[in-house]
Structure 1
Amino acid sequence: MNVKDKVIEIVAEQAMLEPSDITMESTPESIGIDSLGLVEAIFAIEEAFDISVPFNANAPEESDFDISSVATIVAGIERLIAEQKS
């Protein structure tokens, strides 16, 4: 399973939706994920990919990690995997 599919699966589970309901343009807000749900999704992503995501739920705007859409989350995870596996 590639990064995109796994992230979509995790996000869909958090939003209680089917993966087919999630698009790369989906935002956490548009699929009903609140800040707590987002934190849980980030934890699940960290576990799934064995990486550490630099995300501060208390100050998301201070984070280098862009959570504005599924596409930016996937891109960020791919970048982190590349950085942390090297």
Structure 2
Amino acid sequence: MSDKADLASVVTDAVRRCAKLLQPGDEVPPDQPLLELGLDSLGLVELIVLLEEELDIQIPDEQLTPEVFDSVSSIVSAVESFVERDI
């Protein structure tokens, strides 16, 4: 992943695909709670799997928390922190 903007784009696209209330092309504010976008528990599992596949990562169990998966920006911050730790 080349930079934070690319990572945010991948996460935003994944959220768009998994959140029930979003249509293709809908704006996804980076700090909006994903629950407000229609992301339910099944959508969350789909999002985790999709992110792991798209980013070729394994999200550590300790990162699978409501705080991490609250918004696009919280996911981006968490992914950056554990990717940097593994470099």
TM tier, smaller: 0.7 to 0.9
1:13 offset after TM fit, Å? 1.0
The corresponding residue for 1:6 is 10
Aligned CA distance change for structure 1 residues 33 and 49 (closer, same or farther; 3 Å): same
Q: Percent identical across equivalent pairs?
A: 28
Point out 4+ residue stretches in structure 1 off by more than 4 angstroms.
Answer: none
Please name the residue that 1:66 is paired with.
68
Equivalences for residues 32-51 of structure 1 within 5 A: 32-51=38-57
Q: How many residues align?
A: 80
Where 1:30 maps in the other structure, the secondary structure is helix
Question: Offset at 1:80?
Answer: 2.3
Unaligned ranges ≥5, structure 1: none
- After TM superposition, give the deviation of residue 34 of structure 1 in Å: 0.1
Cα RMSD, aligned residues only: 2.3
Q: TM-score, normalised by structure 1?
A: 0.76
| TM-score in terms of structure 2 length | 0.76
